[in-house]
Structure 1
Amino acid sequence: MERHNKIGRYEFLVEPFHCDFSNRIFMGHLGNHLLNAADFHSNERGFGMHFLNGIRKTWVLSRLAIEVNEMPVAYTRLSVETWVDSVMRFFTQRNFKISDHETGKIYGYGRSVWAMIDTETRQPADILAIKEGSIAEYVDKETICPIAASSRVRMSDEGQWAGKVETHYSDVDVNGHINSVKYVEHLLDLMPEAWHRTHCIGRIDVAYVAESHFGDVLNYYCETTGEGKTAYRIMKQRGEEPPLEACRVEITTVKPHL
């Protein structure tokens, strides 16, 4: 298969109501654009949700990293390019490039790891057993993604409680669990206004540990992991059940954009 057919390119508009008080897109909405591009790309190549749901399978996000030079402003027309750079038995690695659709200006890149699971057992499914492993035809090992691989987000067992969030109807996605980006959006909502006026996110790493669901309470614990780096452990809890780790997030901040 020709290389250009392995890469999907999708246009998105940065709508003004998807921007914060700095007139730049919310990180959550940018993350959703990447996930939508992944969905479009996989569906067009016969390995998307439309096909998988019919055989009781689905994709779930295992890790996500987004690294940006700056956040696009309102009314920017974005191009999100995406391609798969490796396929293993239980995981695929997918990359992203974020640029201005008209000028080609690069805003940043993304990396992600996806697992295929059985929707009934919620256990991992063998990706290479689907359609005789033909997903390998869409792997592009030539296109470079220049950012570091997505991180496991290492942190100690210590951490300062940063707040809690109750999950609701709009947090749940088509897979029936809390949407992957919602963990990040809730985290950023816990930050005071002053933090958002004095910090800009240069990179965000998310490592998903376990699914959480409508009605779970998410408790956030934070720890400084380096200069400009803060890691968060997100613990889910339902009623009197013991808390379980659902997700980890590391935020790397940079100087505010001019």
Structure 2
Amino acid sequence: MRDIAYGILGLGILFAVAEAVPRLGLISRDFLPPADEILHTLGRDLAGRELWTALGETMRAWAIGLAIAFVLALALGVLIDAIPGARAATTSTVEFLRPIPSVALIPLATLLYGADLGSSLLLIVYASFWQVLIQVLYGVADVDPVARDTARSYRLSHWTILRRLVWPTALPYVMTGLRLAAAVAFILAVTAELVIGSPGLGLQIQLAQSGGAVAEVYALIAVAGLTGVAVNLAVRQLERRLLSWHPSVRGETPR
């Protein structure tokens, strides 16, 4: 409850600053409308269908792209761990591809898919994939080699070793990768819509900016921020459920 109170206090201070700055003339209202005007615009948008349709398009691209990236990264990470020498052979390739910014693929995405869902998915999958893959590789590498050798000496099957030994060890890393990838996927979804013009929240922000509706722009940005917070809280809740047995999660529970 104390953390919630502090969070509400922080939002109240932000609202007061955003209300006072334009009214005191420190920043022109043409660039920053008062907070109450932004909230009024936000309430009007929430009562309409257009905002929810755009947000649904964004979340659809986010969910599909994140799911594809997660499955591919998890499968590839486990495969690299299972094949002797595969990690050493793929390290240079991973380190070369991982730093490439996803926005650098915008021309390619536009060429292949135009202003469509496929363009957003290409950027989302590429950015999210590396977040999960790196964590999976760290997770499978953290398996106790003595425990792994013991399991092999008992002639346990690869599936049993994966399910009983590798997966419990790697799961905290996997969930960290999923949490990072979820945030990155949402950012890239909005970015693709904003730059490419794919249907969604980013496109609505672009249209509002082009039409000079400054309060509308800030209201839509607020929706994007609140959605990002909701995404992070949802993934954190999933992480707590799946890792309720892990010391890092048990330590978060108040005594």
- The answer to whether the superposition gives a TM-score over 0.5 is no
**Higher share of residues assigned helix:** 2
Shorter-chain TM-score bucket reads: under 0.3
TM-score of the two chains, using structure 2 as the length reference: 0.22
Considering only CA atoms, is the larger Rg found in Structure 1 or Structure 2? 2
Q: TM-score, normalised by structure 1?
A: 0.22
* Greater RCO structure (CA 8 Å; 6+ sep): 2
